[in-house]
Amino acid sequence: MPDDTPTTDQVWRQLTHLVMDTRDGWKRAVVERTGMPFSRIRILRRLLPGPLTAKELARAATMDAPATTVVVNDLEERGLVTREIDPANRRTKLISLTDAGRETVADALATPDPAPAELADLTPSDLRTLHEILRKLEH
């Protein structure tokens, strides 16, 4: 009898497929709600924990440096971020959220994001089990 236990990579592909393929509606709603491309929201979210250099921000958002600069320029023009000289390294600048930037992120994250039908169709027992498993995976 063959072993039918999935590998961790197989389970990971299933999880990412479920999440990534069901978020388009939410992303469109966020774009409508904020009036900005979703890439701007991704950058703003990365700045929630605190200021980052452009290089750190590009890495955190998985964007290249030129694209990050374009986004940061736009966000700065909108009054959502500021650039200030990094006191630890005066050759670099730190990018920080403004109060308006924090409000924009909060507004974006308040956009309704209902569960996909596949998840809503699970039994209460399956939902509890999935919830328990996902809690174990949280860091």
1 has pLDDT over 50: no
Share of the chain above pLDDT 70, in %: 99
* Confidence category of residue 64, pLDDT binned at 50, 70, 90: very high
Looking at residues 75-102, what average pLDDT do you find? 95
Nearest to 55 by CA among 43, 47, 65, 46: 65
Its pTM surpasses 0.85: no
